[in-house]
Amino acid sequence: MSVRVMSWVFDHSDVEHRGDLLVLLVLADHAHDDGTSAFPSVATIGKKARLTRRGAQLALRRLEASGAIAKDEATNTPRGTVSYSIRMGAN
């Protein structure tokens, strides 16, 4: 858990959709202090953000499209694990 990244999300993120903000906070909760290596499952993201699985997937897509998060390179595995980084300098 990174309180530093969660604090950054609250103070600096320009994400407006509340579902997207909750997903960003879930990722921050799972990230390292530099915002990298957040890899909770979609089910975990949905549960913590109080979204359906589909809602969590859509929020992840919107966050990636906006540049708020990025998929870490070489993290797509056969089991579907994807690691995300919060782009703290991008927002």
pLDDT digits (tens, 9 = 90+) for 13-60: 999 999 999 999 999 999 999 999 999 999 999 999 999 999 999 999
pTM (two decimals):
0.89
* Distant-in-sequence contacts of 67-72, Cβ < 8 A, 24+ apart: 67/91, 68/13, 68/15, 68/20, 68/24, 69/24, 69/27, 72/36, 72/37
More reliable by pLDDT, 78 or 30 = 30
Q: pLDDT tens-digit profile of 52-64?
A: 999 999 999 999 9
Q: Assign 65 to helix, strand or coil.
A: helix
Q: Cα-Cα-Cα-Cα dihedral of 38, 43, 47, 51, to 10°?
A: 100
- Report the C-alpha gap between 49 and 55 in whole angstroms: 9
pLDDT of residue 2: 80
The CATH number, out of the four listed (1.10.10.10, 3.40.50.11540, 3.90.330.10, 3.30.230.10), of the domain defined by the range 3-86: 1.10.10.10
Cβ atoms within 10 Å of 33's Cβ, excluding its own: 10
